[in-house]
Amino acid sequence: MKIIVAGCVKTGTKSLTEALTKLDYNVYNYMEHFWFHREQWERFFEGKGKVEDFRQMYEDVDVVCDGPISFFWEEIFSVYPDAKIILTVRDNEDQWFESRKRHVIRQSTNITWKLIHLFSPIGRTFHRYRRTIYRLIYGGNLTSLLSNTVLNEIVQRRHYRQQITYVPQVSLSFVLYIQKVPKDQLLIYNVKEGWEPLCKFLGVETPDEPFPHKNKLGEVYEVFLKECPKAQRMQKEMYISVSILFALTAVAGSFALTRVFR
């Protein structure tokens, strides 16, 4: 483990994931946490996980980022004390929450994902996993086929404030766990700063290309379907299940009509 990204969702974590990938780091983001370590994470959600589990989970991973890492980053750091910590931030809390709302509205009204959650076996498991995260960590109720996600604004804002505690730029008076990270291992980072502070902190050369900016409009789930093989597998399962359902419905309807008009 080389880097732990402690920032909340919607603080540029998708952009940072893309940037670190371009710098040849092996990055585990939201989907990888579910795909490879769902059972271990569910044990943590139930209060049954052990900190040492993180060593086995991420021993071959360079970077962990995005939910639920921001809630467990300190425990992971205790296992990998030589890792660098990147705390991603936004310009202010209101900007962050408005971005969070746009993201949630867009993903919770995506019909394709609602159908995936209903008709794909893996998609249903993914939905249960995400529902647990929303209930226990983010605050609120996750979307179903007939309803949309409801955020708990108080919980959301409090989590963001807690994550950026003891950061001089925000002039907060709280003193929490961020101070436990050695100064040379901590970067307070806004992705709009681009490559320079990130590459200087990591001690790597700055790429000769624009810094990537992802999920600015909350389109991450559409991108998953276009670029992520794991999401594409869920979509394929959904199509197969829906096709089988239509076929069975057609057969049943044909049989019923035959009986009626015999």
Dihedral, CA atoms, 161, 52, 125, 151, nearest 10 degrees?
-10
Interatomic CA distance for residues 58 and 106, integer angstroms: 31
CA dihedral over 101, 106, 111, 117, signed as positive or negative? negative
pLDDT-derived band at 154, boundaries 50, 70, 90 = confident
Domain-wise residue ranges, the chain: 3-249
Q: Are 52 and 61 spatial neighbours (Cβ–Cβ below 8 Å)? A: no
Q: pTM value?
A: 0.84
Dihedral, CA atoms, 183, 195, 18, 71, nearest 10 degrees?
20
Arithmetic mean of pLDDT, 151-176: 61
- The pLDDT value given to residue 176: 39
Arithmetic mean of pLDDT, 87-104: 87
Which secondary structure element, helix H or strand E, spans residue 242, and what is its range?
Answer: helix 229-260
- The pLDDT value given to residue 144: 62
Arithmetic mean of pLDDT, 56-64: 96
CA angle 151, 74, 83 (to 5 degrees): 125
Q: Are 63 and 27 spatial neighbours (Cβ–Cβ below 8 Å)? A: yes
Interatomic CA distance for residues 66 and 15, integer angstroms: 11
Q: What percentage of the chain exceeds 70 in pLDDT?
A: 85
**Rounded alpha-carbon distances, angstroms, from residue 85 to 182, 210, 252:** 9, 23, 58
- The pLDDT value given to residue 148: 66
Arithmetic mean of pLDDT, 105-120: 84
What is the total residue count of the chain? 262
- The pLDDT value given to residue 207: 95
**Rounded alpha-carbon distances, angstroms, from residue 241 to 35, 69, 237, 245, 251:** 21, 33, 6, 6, 15
Q: What does CATH list as the number for 3-249?
A: 3.40.50.300
